[in-house]
A and B are shown apart, each in its own frame.
Chain A
Amino acid sequence: MERTAPTLERLDDHRMIVNLGPSHPSTHGTLRIVLELEGEYVLSATPEIGYLHRGVEKLGESLSYAQFVPLTDRLNYCSSLMNNVGYAQAVEKLLDLKIPPRAELIRVLVSELARIGDHIVCVGINAVDIGAYTAFLYLFKERETLYDLFEMAAGQRMHTSFTRIGGLFRDLPEPFLPLLDQFLESMPRSIDEMERLLTRNPIWVDRTKGVGRISAEQAIGWGYTGPCLRSAGVAQDLRKAQPYLGYETFDFDIPIGTCGDVYDRYLVRTEEMRQSLRIVEQCARRLREVSGPIIVDDYKVALPPKEKVYTRMESLIHHFKLVMHGIDMPVGEVYSATEAANGELGFYLVSDGAKSPYRIHVRPPCFPIFSSLNEQVKGRLIADVIAILGSMNVIAGELDR
């Protein structure tokens, strides 16, 4: 099978090579796709990745488990909170640690907010890429509120580093819930407005319906997860299928599509935003009732509070031991998966009992999805490449690691 990218020597008169990216505005981070075109039709598309490869997995091998949290922010930078949660879950699975109920609730809350934020970016940018600018603006107004919420919770808008092993960095501040209530009130309206602009818009439907169609078998074979798999008709969502963080106690539905095209992916993501809002609502209600610590009370895992470190010898020793020698890790390996905005975000940790992981591997959700690009765009128009690429929600940060 001839699968290498086309070069000048193989070129005859009718064909043209177009480099889409790495700096093309619609390439969602630094991606490069070498397109072989005949007229406006795509003969083959060869994705070239690695432009944003920072060696996260290599770096992790010399950092302590706690020090890796900031690097997870930089995987999927559109929903960094969810990466933080996914990584913390993996380390806690390795430690066999149960976190306090309030920490679980807040993790669910921020994950769902991050999912909404991620879907806003994906749907909004997908629309912008194919020429519908307004929907993007309606949504980005809400995204601004979301980022204000993130800033309140974590002190940072993008690179949140909100989780700690065994819980969270801090509790939600006082003004968080009032602002969340405002958001819960205005976000459904914004989704309605966006849907009025897109869902029955004939241009949007023409550009997206039937584009990037994929069957359930193909999607499973390619390793699709998340909205892209669900839009192909497979009701696979780890929040329901393999519940973690108490997702089984929340009331929400899993939307699925029928043919897996760009339009279905858009509809699935839109409905998922509404379902996430339902979860956030339930979280907000429960948060007013559930109080308690937000991090485990085990100073061999989590740092003791600062006032104790300054006043008590024991706590000072714990602090010192934890910072200098790290957590006492069991020897073993775990694979822990969470449902991120884009699909299954997996962390594979191998521990040899040392301060830093022996091997840390990230399974980014968009990696297998993007690998099917050639199959999806072959024989289609170059304009469809942009639509399909947008609907895959490829984030170069997690793709290249």
Chain B
Amino acid sequence: MIIERMESAMPGAVLDHHAFRGDRTVVVLAGRLPEVAALLFEEGFQQLMDVTAVDWYEREPRFDVVYHFLNLVTQERIRLKAQVREGEALPSLSVRFRSAEWSEREVFDMFGIPFTGHPNLERLLMWKDFPGHPLRKDFPMDGGDAFCTGDTGTSYAGRACTLNL
């Protein structure tokens, strides 16, 4: 079993594991994420399908960052979870898994979780000077006053628009 191998190869990295409806979840220590991902890669989990996060705003640490891996040979899936505090950074997986580049940008954009070692950690879906992180639970559903503040004219997007005028 992959989880036992993870536990024996990296003692202390696996904090918890459980299964629900056939989905296996492994909670790992945030700092040792690259090690665990490297082991998974060697075990055949070569496709990082998805990176996302969940905001448990009353819990400490506040965020779960969730990674879904797929093993193309055995068709197994595994879910890694790392818990981070507000403002705490996670190591980026984009060196080994190129697909993490945009997914991590999206998590940064939507939740404000920074990733160290990311080649270009910018907002992805929202514009550059958008205030706040929309998928946090304390971000108001109607967007609040976010759209009234900030000066979009100074953003990169605003400048690039006028380049060919």
Contact = CB atoms under 8 A, between A and B. Distances in A.
Interface of A: 1, 3-5, 7-8, 17-19, 34, 48-50, 53, 55, 57-58, 62, 93-94, 96, 218, 220-223, 225, 234, 236, 241-242, 332-335, 337, 344, 346, 348, 350, 358-359, 361, 363, 367-368, 371-372, 400-401
B79 to A, nearest CB: 7
A344 B66 CA distance: 17
A7 B154 CA distance: 13
12 contacts: A1-B119, A7-B159, A19-B163, A49-B124, A49-B125, A58-B141, A222-B98, A332-B21, A335-B50, A361-B50, A371-B99, A372-B98
Contact of A96 (B21, B46, B77): B21
Interface string B99-143: 101110000001000000001101011110000001100010100
B23 interface: yes
Nearest to A46: B160
A299 B98 CA distance: 45
B85 to A, nearest CB: 18
Contact of A348 (B21, B68, B99, B160): B68
B102 A367 contact: yes
A234 B77 CA distance: 18
Nearest to B48: A223
B15 interface: no
A45 to B, nearest CB: 13
B159 A221 contact: no
Give the 6 A-B residue pairs with the shortest CB-CB distance, closest first: A223-B99, A50-B125, A3-B120, A371-B102, A363-B50, A368-B99
Contacts of A372: 98
Nearest to A17: B163
Given A7-B160, A400-B125, 12 more contacts: A3-B120, A17-B160, A57-B110, A57-B135, A62-B141, A225-B49, A334-B21, A335-B79, A337-B49, A348-B50, A358-B54, A368-B99
B160 A19 contact: yes
A127 B61 CA distance: 51
B40 to A, nearest CB: 14
A346 B126 contact: no
A221 to B, nearest CB: 5
A335 B76 CA distance: 12
Contacts of B23: 333-335
Given A223-B99, A335-B23, A335-B68, A3 B125 contact: no
Instruction: Bin chain B's interface residue count.
Output: 35 or more
Given A348-B50, A368-B102, A8 B159 contact: yes
A53 B133 CA distance: 14
A261 to B, nearest CB: 19
> Of residues A4, A96, A359, which shows the largest number of chain B Cβ atoms within 10 Å of its Cβ?
A359
B26 to A, nearest CB: 13
Given A7-B156, A7-B159, A18 B164 contact: yes
A53 B126 contact: yes
A7 B157 CA distance: 10
Given A335-B23, A335-B68, A344-B49, A221 B98 contact: yes
Interface string B60-97: 00000010100010010101000000000000000001
Contacts of A350: 54
Contacts of B97: 221, 223
B156 to A, nearest CB: 7
Contacts of A335: 23, 50, 68, 77, 79
Contacts of B77: 335
Contacts of A344: 49
Contacts of B127: 50
Contacts of A363: 49-50, 52, 68
B106 to A, nearest CB: 8
A48 B134 CA distance: 18
Given A49-B124, A332-B20, A5 B47 contact: no
A1 B95 CA distance: 12
A393 to B, nearest CB: 17
A93 B23 CA distance: 10
Given A334-B21, A334-B23, A400-B125, A34 B68 contact: no
Contact of A5 (B103, B135, B156): B156
B161 interface: yes
Given A4-B122, A372-B98, A236 B21 contact: no
